[in-house]
C-alpha cells in the first residue's frame, strides 16, 4: 500500500491512541466484573457466616455453659433438693432464652418421671405461667425423647438438640437441649432445658439480606427448620449436596450457582455452625445478585467507546496541525534541490523544526554564493584559455593540429569540470537534505503522537471537571490522578524525543564546525584507561546485569604525546559505546553461555602510535562495513543512534590529528578499530 507520510502519520496516531485505550478498557472492565462478583459472593458468605457464628455463640456460651454449671450442682451430693430446685429456678430466671428446665429419671425404658421443674413467666401477658396451657406447652419431655437419646448415644456428644418448632398456642419458637446427669444411687437422669428462639428468629427474619434474597437453616433431612411448616427443600440439587456434607460430618463453607426445577438461576452460599448438624443457607436470584456488575460493565463500555471517539478526533486534528510545518520544510527542500536558492521559512518557532528551517535557508544562501564563485572562476578560465589559444596560434603554426586537439580537450575538460562540480554540489545537497529529513522525522513522529494523546487526555480531564462541577460528591480522585499521570508521561516523552531531535541538530553542527580545541602533551595510556573505565561504568548503570572482561595491554614506552584530549576522548567514548552495545545485544541473543570481552592495546612503532580496540560482539556485516564512517549511517534501531558518532570520530582522527582510522570485522564474532596517530 503506497500511502503518503501524512496518512501514515494519521493512521499511526489513531492506532496508538485506540489500541492502548481499548486494551486498558477491556482489562479494567474484566477486573471490575470479577471484583464486583467477588464482592457479591463475599456478601453471601459473610451473611451465612455471621448467622452460623451467632448460633455457635448461643450454643456454647448462652446455653451449654449454664447447663454445665447446673449439671455440676445437681450431681453434687452435698446439695439438698431445695437447693437444687433453687438452682433450676435461678438458671431459668437469669439465662436469656431459657423458659423451662426439668430433671427427669428413667424409671423404666422410655418412661421418664419428673423430679424437679422450673418455669419462666410467659412474655405474652395474655397467657399465665400457672395455666395448664402454658405449662403443657413448655414443660415435660419431648415426644421423641427416646429417638433423641439414641441419636445422642450414637454421636457420642455430651448434649443433644432438637430441631426448632413453632408452638401456635403460645406463639413461641421452642427447642430442647438435653444433657445427662449422674446422681449416685438414682436411675439414669437427664436435664432438659427448653429454649425460646423468638428473638433469634426475629433477627433472622429482619436480616437486611432478606430484602433481596432468602435465608434458611437446613437440617440433615433437608428441611428448612426456620419455617413454621419445616419446608422440605430436598428437591434442590444443592440441598442434596448439603445433606451429604452433614451426613459425612464435612464442614466446607462455600459459594455456588444452581438452577431451580422451574429454571431460575440462583447464587447461594452456605456455612456450617461448628457444633450443630445444621447449615445456614442464603440465596439470591442471579439477575439480582449481579445487577450492579452488569450495570457497571455497560457504563465502562460506554466510557471506553467515548474515549475511542475522542482519541480518534484528537489524533486527526492535532496530526494536521503538527505536520503542516514539516510539509512546508519539505517544499523548501524540493525548491533548493531544483536549483532555486532564494527561499525563506515562514515557521519561526524556536524549536527543532524552526532550527532546521533556518539551517536550510542558510545552506541555500551558502550554495548560491558558491555557485556564483564557480561561475566567475569558469569565466576567468575561459578567458585565459582563449588568450592561450591566440598565443599558440601566433607562435607555432606548425602545431596547429595539436593545438586543435588541445582546444577540443580543453573544451571537454571545462564541460566535465562544470558537470562534476554541479553533480558534486547537488549530490551533497541531496544527501544532506535526505539525511536531515530522515533523521529528524522519527523524533518528530513521536512528538506528534504523544501530543495527540495528551490532547485526548486533556479533553477527558475537561469532561471529568464538568461532571464534578455538576456534582462535587462524584469526584474520582484516582481517575484524575491517572489522567494527570498519563499527561505527565506523554509530556516527558515529548521532551525526550525533542531532546533527541536537538541532539541530532547539535551533532550536525559539531560535524560541520569540526571543533579542534587545544593540543597539549597528554598521557595517552592514562587517557585511554580513564575513557574505558568511564564508558564501562556508564553501560553497567544503564544496562542492568551487563558484565564484561576488560583486557588492557599498554606499551610503557609511550610517553606523553601532543594531542587534543577533549576530541580524542570523544572518539574513544564513541568506539567503546559501540563495542559495549554490540556485546550487550549478542548477550541477549546467546544467553548465559556468552562472555563479553573487550581488548585495548597500545603500541609505539617509530614515529607513530597504534591503538587497537577489539570486542567479541555481533560484528559488522561486510555489506555495510564501508559505510560505517558516513554521516547518518547506523545499524542501531531507531532512537538508539544518530549515525554521527563514527563519522565525527573519523574527522577528528584524520583531519584534526592527521592520523588514520580503520575497521575490520567478522560478522557474528568480532570487530576491531585501529587508530594510528603521529607522535609529534
* CA neighbor of 500 nearest in space, from 544, 430, 445, 539: 445
Give the pLDDT score at 426: 42
Asked if residue 200 belongs to a domain, the reply is: yes
- Asked which of 302-316, 592-606, 616-630 is least confident by mean pLDDT, the reply is 302-316
Q: Is residue 166 part of a domain?
A: yes
**Domain of 618: which CATH number?**
3.30.565.10
pLDDT band at residue 420 using 50, 70 and 90 as cut-offs: very low
Side-chain-side CA neighbours of 529 within 13 Å: the count stands at 10
Q: What is the pLDDT of residue 424?
A: 40
pLDDT of the residue at 298? 63
Residues 533 and 662 in one domain: yes
Q: Which domain holds residue 427?
A: 311-513
- Position 421 confidence tier, pLDDT thresholds 50, 70, 90: very low
Q: In this predicted model, which residue has the larger pLDDT, 224 or 637?
A: 224
Q: Which of 226, 259, 289 is the last residue of a domain?
A: 289
In a 3-state reduction of DSSP, which class is residue 622?
A: coil
Whether residue 316 is found in the same domain as residue 356? yes
Q: What is the pLDDT of residue 472?
A: 77
Q: In Å, how far from its chain's centre is CA 299? A: 23
Same domain membership, residue 223 and residue 318: no
Average pLDDT over residues 125-139: 67
CB 360 within 8 A of CB 333: yes
- Asked whether the beta carbons of 267 and 40 are under 8 A apart, the reply is yes
- 630 secondary structure, DSSP code: S
For 538, the grid coordinates are 556508564
Quick one: 377 and 497 in the same domain?
yes
Domain assignment present for 59: yes
166-191 pLDDT, tens per residue?
A: 888 888 899 999 999 998 888 999 99
Q: Which of 127-131, 336-340, 508-512 has the lowest mean pLDDT?
A: 508-512
Please give the pLDDT value at position 191: 93
Query: Pairing between strand 98-108 and 660-666?
Result: unpaired
pLDDT at 296: 64
Residue 1 within any structural domain of the chain: no
241-260 per-position pLDDT tens digit: 888 888 777 777 888 888 88
Helix axes 565-590, 524-542, angle to 10 degrees: 40
Q: Does 81 share its domain with 116?
A: yes
Q: What pLDDT, on the 0 to 100 scale, is given for residue 429?
A: 43
Mean pLDDT of 543-566: 91
Residue 586: pLDDT band (50, 70, 90) is: very high
Residue 332, pLDDT score:
74
Tell which residue, 138, 94, 96, 133, has the closest CA to residue 117.
138
User: Is the residue at 2 inside a domain?
Assistant: no
The closest alpha carbon to 590, from 669, 671, 672, 673, belongs to 669
- The pLDDT of residue 454 is 85
Compute the mean pLDDT over every residue in the chain, rounded to the nearest whole number.
Answer: 80
Q: Which of residues 258 and 66 earns the better pLDDT score?
A: 66
**Alpha-carbon distances, residue 321 vs 7, 86, 130, 449 (angstroms):** 13, 97, 97, 12
Higher pLDDT, 553 or 356: 553
Number of domains in the chain: 3
Q: Is 389 exposed, middle or buried, given 0-12, 13-18 or 19+ CB atoms closer than 10 A?
A: middle
Tell me what percent of the residues of the chain surpass a pLDDT of 90. 23
The rounded distance, in Å, linking the Cα atoms of 90 and 101 is 10
Q: Residue 580 pLDDT > 90, yes or no?
A: yes
Q: Which of 160-169, 187-196, 370-379 has the highest mean pLDDT?
A: 187-196
pLDDT band at 594 (very low <50, low <70, confident <90, very high): very high
Residues belonging to the chain = 680
Whether 298 is in a domain gets the answer no
Terminal C-alpha separation, the chain:
59
How many other CB atoms are found less than 10 A from the CB of residue 122?
Answer: 20
Is 26 inside any structural domain? no
Position of cell 455440676? 72
Q: Are residues 320 and 282 in the same domain?
A: no
Distance CA(191)–CA(193), nearest Å, equals: 7
DSSP 39-106: HHHHHHHHHHHHHHHHHHHIIIIIIIHHHHHHHHHHT-TTS-HHHHHHHHHHHHHHSTTEEEEEEEEE
122 — pLDDT class (breaks 50, 70, 90): low
pLDDT the model gives residue 427: 41
Residue 431's pLDDT band, with cuts at 50, 70 and 90, is: very low
| Residues 81 and 138 both lie in one domain | yes
Residue with cell 607513530: 608
Residues 330 and 284 in one domain: no
The H or E element spanning position 175 is: strand 172-181
Q: What per-residue confidence (pLDDT) applies to 432? A: 45
pLDDT at residue 395, rounded to an integer: 75
The answer to whether 248 and 257 have CB atoms below 8 angstroms apart is: no
pLDDT in tens, 472-482: 777 777 888 88
Whether 424 and 564 map to the same domain: the answer is no
Long-range contacts of 490-495 (CB under 8 A, 24+ apart): 490/450, 490/451, 490/453, 490/454, 490/457, 491/450, 491/454, 493/446, 493/450, 494/446, 494/447, 494/450, 494/451, 494/454
CB 652 within 8 A of CB 571: yes
255 occurs within a structural domain: yes
198 CB neighbour count, 10 Å cutoff: 15
| Claim to verify: residue 216 and residue 337 sit in the same structural domain | no
Q: Comparing 51-55, 411-415, 489-493, which segment has the lowest mean pLDDT?
A: 411-415
Residues 567 and 638 in one domain: yes
pLDDT at 21: 62
Q: Give the CATH number of the domain where residue 177 resides.
A: 3.30.450.20
Nearest Cα to 268, choosing from 296, 292, 236? 236
What are φ and ψ of residue 674, in 5° steps?
A: -125, 120
Which 8-state DSSP code applies to residue 655? I
- Can you tell me the mean pLDDT for 155-163? 84
Q: Is the pLDDT of residue 125 over 50?
A: no
The answer to whether 254 and 185 are in contact (CB under 8 A) is no
Cell numbers representing residue 81 in the block: 433438693
* Whether residue 553 is found in the same domain as residue 623: yes
Last residue in a domain, options 513, 531, 553: 513
User: Helices (H), strands (E): how many in the chain?
Assistant: 15, 19
What confidence tens digit (pLDDT) does each residue in 188-235 have?
Answer: 999 999 999 999 989 998 998 888 888 999 988 888 888 877 888 888
**Taking 70 as the threshold, does the pLDDT of residue 43 lie above it?**
yes
State the Cα torsion 237-241-243-249 to the nearest 10°. Answer: 180
Q: Which three cell numbers stand for residue 444?
A: 518528530
- Higher per-residue confidence, 301 vs 408: 408
Residue 53 pLDDT greater than 80, yes or no: yes
pLDDT given at position 435: 47
179 or 351, higher pLDDT: 179
Amino acid at each position: 500500500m503506497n500511502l503518503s507520510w501524512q496518512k501514515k502519520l494519521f493512521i499511526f496516531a489513531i492506532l496508538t491512541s485506540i489500541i492502548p485505550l481499548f486494551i486498558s478498557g477491556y482489562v479494567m472492565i474484566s477486573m471490575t466484573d470479577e471484583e464486583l462478583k467477588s464482592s457479591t459472593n463475599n456478601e453471601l458468605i459473610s451473611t451465612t457466616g455471621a448467622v452460623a457464628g451467632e448460633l455457635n455463640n448461643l450454643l456454647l456460651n448462652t446455653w451449654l455453659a449454664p447447663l454445665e454449671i447446673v449439671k455440676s450442682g445437681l450431681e453434687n451430693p452435698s446439695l439438698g433438693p431445695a437447693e437444687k430446685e433453687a438452682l433450676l429456678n435461678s438458671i431459668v430466671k437469669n439465662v436469656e432464652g431459657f423458659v423451662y428446665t426439668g430433671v427427669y429419671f428413667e424409671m423404666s425404658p422410655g418412661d421418664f418421671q419428673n423430679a424437679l421443674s422450673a418455669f419462666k413467666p410467659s412474655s405474652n401477658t395474655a397467657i399465665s405461667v400457672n395455666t395448664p396451657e402454658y405449662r403443657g406447652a413448655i414443660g415435660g419431655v419431648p415426644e421423641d425423647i427416646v429417638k433423641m437419646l439414641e441419636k445422642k448415644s450414637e454421636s457420642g456428644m455430651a448434649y443433644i438438640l432438637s430441631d426448632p418448632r413453632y408452638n401456635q398456642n403460645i406463639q413461641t419458637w421452642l427447642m430442647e437441649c438435653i444433657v445427662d446427669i449422674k446422681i449416685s444411687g438414682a436411675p439414669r437422669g437427664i436435664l432438659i432445658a427448653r429454649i425460646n428462639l423468638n428473638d433469634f428468629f426475629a433477627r433472622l427474619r429482619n436480616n437486611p439480606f432478606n430484602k433481596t434474597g432468602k435465608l434458611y437453616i437446613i437440617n440433615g433431612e433437608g428441611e428448612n427448620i426456620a419455617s413454621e411448616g419445616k419446608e422440605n427443600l430436598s428437591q434442590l440439587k444443592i440441598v442434596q449436596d448439603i445433606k451429604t456434607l452433614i451426613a459425612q460430618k464435612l464442614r466446607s463453607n462455600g459459594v455456588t450457582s444452581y438452577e431451580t426445577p422451574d429454571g431460575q438461576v440462583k447464587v447461594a452460599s452456605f456455612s456450617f455452625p461448628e457444633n450443630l448438624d445444621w447449615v445456614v443457607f442464603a440465596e439470591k436470584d442471579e439477575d439480582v445478585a449481579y445487577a450492579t456488575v452488569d450495570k457497571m460493565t455497560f457504563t465502562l463500555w460506554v466510557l471506553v467507546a467515548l474515549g475511542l471517539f475522542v482519541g480518534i478526533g484528537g489524533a486527526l486534528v492535532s496530526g494536521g496541525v503538527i505536520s503542516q510545518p514539516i510539509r512546508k520544510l519539505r517544499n523548501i527542500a524540493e525548491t533548493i534541490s531544483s536549483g532555486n536558492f532564494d527561499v525563506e521559512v515562514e515557521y519561526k518557532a524556536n524549536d527543532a523544526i524552526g532550527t532546521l528551517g533556518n539551517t536550510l535557508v542558510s545552506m541555500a544562501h551558502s550554495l548560491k554564493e558558491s555557485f556564483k564563485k564557480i561561475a566567475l572562476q569558469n569565466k576567468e578560465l575561459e578567458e585565459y584559455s582563449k588568450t592561450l589559444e591566440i598565443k599558440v596560434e601566433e607562435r607555432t603554426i606548425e602545431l596547429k593540429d595539436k593545438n586543435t586537439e588541445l582546444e577540443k580537450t580543453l573544451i571537454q575538460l571545462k564541460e566535465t569540470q562544470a558537470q562534476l562540480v554541479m553533480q558534486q554540489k547537488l549530490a551533497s545537497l541531496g544527501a544532506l537534505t535526505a539525511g536531515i529529513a530522515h533523521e529528524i522525522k522519527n523524533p518528530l513522529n513521536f512528538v506528534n503522537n504523544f501530543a495527540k494523546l495528551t490532547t485526548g487526555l486533556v479533553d477527558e480531564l475537561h469532561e471529568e471537571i464538568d461532571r464534578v462541577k455538576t456534582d462535587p460528591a462524584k469526584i474520582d480522585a484516582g481517575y484524575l490522578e491517572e489522567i494527570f499521570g498519563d499527561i505527565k508521561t506523554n509530556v516527558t516523552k515529548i521532551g525526550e524525543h525533542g531532546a533527541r531531535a536537538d541532539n541530532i541538530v547539535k551533532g550536525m553542527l559539531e560535524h560541520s564546525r569540526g571543533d579542534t580545541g587545544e593540543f597539549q602533551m597528554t598521557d595517552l595510556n592514562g587517557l585511554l584507561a580513564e575513557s574505558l573505565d568511564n564508558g564501562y561504568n556508564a553501560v553497567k548503570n544503564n544496562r542492568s546485569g551487563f558484565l564484561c572482561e576488560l583486557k588492557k595491554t599498554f606499551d610503557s614506552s609511550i610517553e606523553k604525546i601532543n594531542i587534543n584530549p577533549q576530541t580524542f576522548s570523544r572518539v574513544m567514548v564513541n568506539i567503546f559505546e559501540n563495542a559495549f552495545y554490540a556485546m550487550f545485544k549478542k548477550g541477549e541473543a546467546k544467553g548465559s553461555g556468552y562472555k563479553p570481552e573487550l581488548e585495548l592495546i597500545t603500541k609505539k612503532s617509530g614515529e607513530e602510535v597504534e591503538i587497537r580496540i577489539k570486542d567479541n560482539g555481533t560484528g559488522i556485516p561486510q555489506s555495510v562495513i564501508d559505510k560505517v564512517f558516513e554521516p547518518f549511517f547506523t545499524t542501531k534501531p531507531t532512537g538508539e543512534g544518530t549515525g554521527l558518532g563514527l563519522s565525527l570520530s573519523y574527522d577528528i582522527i584524520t583531519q584534526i590529528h592527521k592520523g588514520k582510522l580503520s575497521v575490520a570485522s567478522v560478522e557474528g564474532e568480532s570487530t576491531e578499530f585501529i587508530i594510528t596517530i603521529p607522535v609529534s
